[in-house]
């Protein structure tokens, strides 16, 4: 169906021309929205664009007038070439795309003759054809990225010239080995036309026009495989098989001339421009990054690309598994004797491909425009809906009827010919949608997406060519065709899921990649700022201090509880070996007769802090003849914690990092019992009850529930041990827990083993 896009507002120019107004827009039938709300475009320019009402040449259903509004795609880049020039470009591309696929099947009509020349079985020559398509599948991993780097034109010229040269080598091949080698080299060049051609279509046509243009382009890729055996049959009937490849050489020469003189450079921006001004090492790194074939393979992290590749592969598998064995299947069935007679059977799917060319792409574009009107925006996955019926019902039905009619000898010649024709038409309703989806879904990497799709589809084509004849000989053409039909049905179901959920899949992967990139950027930012231990990051963080807090989270659990009578400290002793003397593990130490502390983290750091606190306490007593207050002692410890990094000029000692330890400082002075928590950052707070270390989260929650101001000292002892018992991995006993108290009467005191046994004995048994 032809649809014309018309600009209703002409741009200002020197002649001040007056635009001719279009007819007033009409609404689609059944729509309650004004026409201005019927969103349907991909064109971000200021002038209003409209779809003119047109009549369908296919279904005779009129296309309603639709206003186009901006939805994000740039229309200017698609207006560089006139319609006539675009048609010429498409024709050249279609001719070039005809070469590689036609070469894959012309030899099918000559398999017995080639095998006789080289003294081998026909299955070996079919194997060369499978290798041909295998390398057609691998080469897109190279040509797709190269086309993005250096542009479309010169890659096409080089590949066409090499295709020409290697075709000469194939025609002159003196033995089977050289025949295989030149066939493989030819295949590598041939796929460049397919990948680059699809990218050129994406460069010059708007998304709503690509289906039609790509339908014409793909006609070459599909008519070639069907027409090739017919041409081969004619040549082999009257000439030698080598003339097949001389004809291929002549066609390649014509393609080289056409590409050289009629194909302009269409790429919007070459990636090679990014290399200007870079040193050689950086250029080499970027080139490897772009040309790395894993970039193409990694695209299949996107489930939608994988399912579309599966759909394309099922169609190509079906096509080559149908065409490859025709001479071995239909010749005996109908008593045919010459290559020309069997070659005529290839015309049936070929005619189907020709007819499908006229309607398949237009049908795909029609479906896209329909869903634009429904949704108000263009979603790439909507295009896939145009191929579901044909891929999931028409082609499988044709394959099953074809296979069993041949095997059971029913329907004569007419039935299999009609089925081959109908499946040929149906394939052209599928391939444009799948190929254009590859161009639309990831436009910045369209060449790589198309390359990946061709890679997978031709790997399946190679498998189909190699496996079909042995499989048909073993199970029969009926069952083999049924298996191909089920493959198509499974691929259709996967494509339907992509049409429904493909956008969500893409968004989820992109979001995940964005998060990974953000994390990487954060890591880079962190690595820049965590080297300077007293330098703030842009987020206002001191990473070295945060790392020291992580060390504390791996330390032993320590708990402090303050009551009206005094303070209780309890610490888990981690006994890591039965040979360890538990009395040597000290997690609670005395600072002064009225002050003690419990530690969690690095004990060596704790010793430095405790020693500093002891010196401060003794100096204070010597100078002022009074005991140091608990808060002042804590302040002195925290002042020491701040002496790290370049900012501690004037201090007697400068530390290279923050302390990796936290302290619970307990004491009794004229203000009564008090409990302080000192952090590596130099911050301290006073608490009624506090837990630090690996089990601090659970222990703090328990203290929150159980603590009250009226606790007695014995009740605090039980609370500390009961809380430790809940967070410890080992069974609590007097050997793996240390307990201490600070009271007015007794000052600081660490409990003996006997005293520990008594407290443990008071713990509740449940």
In angstroms, rounded to a whole number, what is the distance separating the alpha carbons of residues 72 and 379?
Answer: 12
For 530-629, where are the alpha helices, taking DSSP H only?
A: 543-553, 603-624
The whole-number pLDDT of residue 749 equals: 94
Is this prediction's pTM over 0.75? no
| Secondary element (H or E) of residue 748 | strand 747-750
Is the per-residue pLDDT at 525 higher than 80? no
What is the full DSSP assignment across 419-476? HHHHHHHHHHHHHHHHHHHHHHHTGGGHHHHHHHHHHHHHHHHHHHHHHHHHHHHHH-
What is the full DSSP assignment across 134-167? HHHHHTHHHHHHHHHHH-SHHHHHHHHHHHHHHH
Q: What HEC string does 169-205 produce? A: HHHCCCCHHHHHHHHHHHHHHHHHHHHHHHHHHHHHC
The whole-number pLDDT of residue 203 equals: 87
Is the per-residue pLDDT at 170 higher than 90? yes
In angstroms, rounded to a whole number, what is the distance separating the alpha carbons of residues 554 and 542?
Answer: 20
Residue scoring higher pLDDT (220 or 530): 220
The rounded percent of the chain whose pLDDT value lies above 70 is: 83
Is the per-residue pLDDT at 728 higher than 80? yes
Task: List the Cα angle 713/716/720 in 5-degree steps.
Answer: 145
Q: Which of 10-24, 26-40, 302-316, 426-440 has the highest mean pLDDT?
A: 302-316
With CA atoms as reference, report the closest residue to 182 among 131, 147, 143, 219.
Answer: 131
Q: What is the mean pLDDT of the chain?
A: 79
* Count of residues in the chain: 766
Q: What is the pLDDT of residues 479-517, one digit of tens each?
A: 989 999 999 999 999 999 999 988 888 888 888 877 877
Residue scoring higher pLDDT (370 or 44): 370
> 593 exposed, middle or buried (CB, 10 Å; 0-12, 13-18, 19+)?
middle
In angstroms, rounded to a whole number, what is the distance separating the alpha carbons of residues 488 and 435?
Answer: 17
CA distances from 31 to 22, 40, 184, 349 (A): 21, 14, 57, 42
The whole-number pLDDT of residue 374 equals: 85
Quote the tokens at residue 677: 């928590």
Q: What is the pLDDT of residues 532-562, one digit of tens each?
A: 555 555 555 566 677 777 778 888 899 999 9
| Secondary element (H or E) of residue 591 | strand 588-592
In angstroms, rounded to a whole number, what is the distance separating the alpha carbons of residues 314 and 392?
Answer: 11
Could you tell me the pLDDT band of residue 2, with boundaries at 50, 70 and 90? very low
Q: What is the pLDDT of residues 389-448, one digit of tens each?
A: 999 999 999 999 988 988 888 888 888 888 988 988 888 888 878 878 887 787 667 767
Residue 6, SS3 per DSSP: strand
Is the per-residue pLDDT at 12 higher than 50? no
Q: What is the pLDDT of residues 143-156, one digit of tens each?
A: 777 877 888 888 89
Domain ranges of the chain: 1-79, 80-266+295-521, 545-761
> 624 exposed, middle or buried (CB, 10 Å; 0-12, 13-18, 19+)?
exposed
Is the per-residue pLDDT at 60 higher than 60? no
| Rg of the chain on CA atoms, in Å | 40
Q: What is the pLDDT of residues 77-96, one digit of tens each?
A: 788 899 999 999 999 998 88
The domain 80-266+295-521 is classified under which CATH number: 1.20.1250.20, 1.10.3720.10, 2.40.30.10, 3.40.50.20?
1.20.1250.20
In angstroms, rounded to a whole number, what is the distance separating the alpha carbons of residues 321 and 344?
Answer: 17
The whole-number pLDDT of residue 96 equals: 87
Beginning with the edge strand found earlier in the chain, give each strand of the sheet holding 558-562 in spatial order. 689-692, 558-562, 566-572, 737-743, 747-750
Residue scoring higher pLDDT (715 or 354): 715
In angstroms, rounded to a whole number, what is the distance separating the alpha carbons of residues 145 and 162?
Answer: 19
The whole-number pLDDT of residue 42 equals: 34
Q: Which of 69-73, 167-171, 200-204 has the lowest mean pLDDT?
A: 69-73
Query: What is the DSSP-derived secondary structure letter of residue 391?
Result: I
CA distances from 595 to 155, 259, 667, 687 (A): 82, 91, 4, 15
Q: What is the pLDDT of residues 688-705, one digit of tens each?
A: 999 999 888 889 999 999
The whole-number pLDDT of residue 580 equals: 77
Could you tell me the pLDDT band of residue 28, with boundaries at 50, 70 and 90? very low
The whole-number pLDDT of residue 655 equals: 60
Residue scoring higher pLDDT (63 or 250): 250
In angstroms, rounded to a whole number, what is the distance separating the alpha carbons of residues 443 and 38?
Answer: 25
The whole-number pLDDT of residue 52 equals: 38
In angstroms, rounded to a whole number, what is the distance separating the alpha carbons of residues 288 and 4?
Answer: 44
Q: Which of 9-18, 60-69, 217-226, 727-736 has the lowest mean pLDDT?
A: 60-69
The whole-number pLDDT of residue 656 equals: 64
The whole-number pLDDT of residue 527 equals: 53
What is the full DSSP assignment across 11-38? PP-TT-PPPPPPPPP-PPTT--S-GGG-
b/e sequence 50-77, b meaning 16+ C-beta within 10 Å? bbbbeeeeeeeeebbbbbbbeeebebee
Q: What is the pLDDT of residues 231-274, one digit of tens each?
A: 887 888 888 999 999 999 999 999 999 999 999 988 887 877 77
- Is domain 545-761 given the CATH code 3.60.20.10 in the classification? yes
The whole-number pLDDT of residue 753 equals: 87
Is the per-residue pLDDT at 66 higher than 50? no
In angstroms, rounded to a whole number, what is the distance separating the alpha carbons of residues 599 and 20?
Answer: 86
Q: What is the pLDDT of residues 616-634, one digit of tens each?
A: 999 999 999 999 999 999 9
Residue 564, SS3 per DSSP: coil
CA distances from 435 to 46, 146, 263, 358 (A): 30, 19, 21, 16
Could you tell me the pLDDT band of residue 523, with boundaries at 50, 70 and 90? low
For 476-540, where are the alpha helices, taking DSSP H only?
A: 477-529
In angstroms, rounded to a whole number, what is the distance separating the alpha carbons of residues 490 and 318?
Answer: 13
């Amino acid at each position: 169906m032809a649809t014309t896009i018309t600009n209703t507002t002409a741009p200002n120019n020197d002649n001040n021309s007056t635009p001719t107004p279009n007819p007033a827009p009409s609404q689609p039938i059944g729509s309650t929205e004004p026409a201005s709300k019927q969103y349907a475009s991909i064109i971000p320019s200021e002038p209003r664009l409209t779809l003119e009402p047109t009549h369908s040449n296919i279904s005779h259903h009129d296309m309603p007038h639709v206003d186009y509004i901006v939805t994000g795609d740039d229309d200017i880049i698609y207006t560089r070439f006139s319609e006539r020039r675009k048609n010429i470009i498409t024709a050249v591309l279609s001719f070039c795309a005809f070469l590689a696929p036609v070469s894959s099947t012309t030899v099918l009509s000559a398999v017995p003759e080639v095998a006789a020349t080289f003294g081998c079985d026909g299955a070996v020559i079919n194997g060369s054809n499978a290798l041909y398509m295998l390398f057609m599948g691998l080469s897109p991993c190279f040509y797709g990225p190269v086309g993005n780097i250096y542009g479309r034109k010169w890659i096409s010229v080089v590949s066409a010239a090499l295709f020409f040269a290697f075709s000469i080598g194939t025609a002159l091949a003196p033995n089977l080995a050289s025949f295989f080698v030149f066939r493989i080299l030819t295949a590598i060049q041939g796929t460049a036309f397919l990948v680059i051609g699809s990218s050129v279509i994406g460069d010059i046509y708007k998304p709503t026009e690509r289906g039609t243009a790509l339908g014409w382009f793909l006609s070459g890729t599909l008519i070639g495989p069907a027409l090739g055996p017919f041409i081969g049959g004619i040549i082999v009937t009257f000439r030698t098989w080598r003339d097949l490849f001389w004809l291929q050489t002549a066609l390649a020469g014509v393609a080289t001339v056409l590409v050289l003189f009629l194909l302009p450079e269409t790429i919007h921006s070459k990636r090679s421009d990014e290399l200007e001004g870079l040193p050689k090492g950086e250029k080499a790194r970027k080139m490897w990054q772009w040309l790395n074939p894993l970039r193409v393979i990694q695209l299949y992290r996107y489930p939608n690309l994988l399912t579309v590749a599966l759909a394309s592969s099922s169609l190509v598998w079906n096509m080559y598994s149908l065409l490859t064995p025709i001479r071995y299947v239909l010749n005996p069935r109908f008593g045919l004797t010459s290559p020309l007679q069997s070659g005529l059977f290839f015309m049936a799917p070929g005619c189907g491909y020709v007819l499908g060319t006229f309607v398949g792409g237009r049908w795909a574009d029609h479906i896209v425009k329909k869903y634009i009107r429904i949704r108000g925006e263009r979603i790439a996955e909507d295009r896939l809906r145009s191929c579901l019926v044909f891929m999931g019902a028409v082609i499988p039905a044709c394959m099953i009827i074809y296979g069993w009619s041949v095997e059971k000898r029913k329907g004569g010649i007419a039935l299999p010919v009609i089925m081959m024709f109908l499946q040929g038409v149906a394939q052209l309703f599928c391939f444009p949608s799948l190929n254009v989806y590859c161009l639309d879904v990831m436009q910045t990497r369209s060449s790589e997406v198309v390359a990946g799709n061709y890679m997978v589809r031709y790997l399946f084509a190679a498998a189909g060519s190699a496996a079909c004849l042995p499989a048909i000989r073993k199970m029969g053409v009926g069952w083999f065709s049924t298996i191909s039909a089920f493959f198509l049905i499974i691929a259709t179901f996967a494509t339907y899921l992509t049409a429904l959920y493909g956008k969500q899949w893409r968004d989820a992967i992109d979001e995940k990649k964005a998060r990974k990139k953000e994390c990487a950027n954060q890591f880079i930012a962190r690595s820049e700022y965590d080297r300077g231990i007293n330098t703030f990051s842009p987020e206002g963080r001191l990473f070295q201090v945060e790392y020291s807090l992580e060390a504390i989270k791996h330390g032993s659990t320590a708990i402090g509880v303050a009551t009206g009578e005094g303070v209780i400290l309890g610490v888990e002793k981690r006994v890591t070996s039965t040979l360890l003397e538990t009395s040597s593990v000290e997690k609670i130490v005395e600072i002064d007769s009225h002050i003690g502390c419990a530690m969690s983290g690095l004990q060596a750091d704790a010793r430095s802090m405790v020693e500093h606190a002891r010196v401060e306490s003794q100096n204070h007593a010597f100078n002022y003849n009074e005991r140091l207050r608990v808060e002042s002692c804590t302040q002195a410890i925290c002042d020491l914690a701040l002496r790290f990094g370049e900012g501690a000029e004037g201090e007697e000692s400068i530390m290279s990092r923050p302390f990796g330890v936290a302290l619970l400082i307990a004491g009794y002075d004229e203000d009564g019992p008090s409990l302080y928590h000192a952090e590596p950052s130099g911050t301290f707070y006073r608490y009624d009850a506090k837990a630090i270390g690996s089990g601090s989260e659970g222990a703090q929650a328990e203290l929150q529930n159980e603590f009250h101001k009226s606790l007695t000292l014995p009740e605090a002892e039980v609370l500390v041990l009961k809380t430790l018992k809940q967070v410890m991995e080992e069974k609590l006993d007097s050997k793996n827990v240390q307990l201490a108290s600070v009271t007015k009467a007794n000052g600081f005191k660490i409990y003996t083993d006997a005293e520990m046994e008594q407290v443990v004995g008071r713990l509740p048994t449940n």
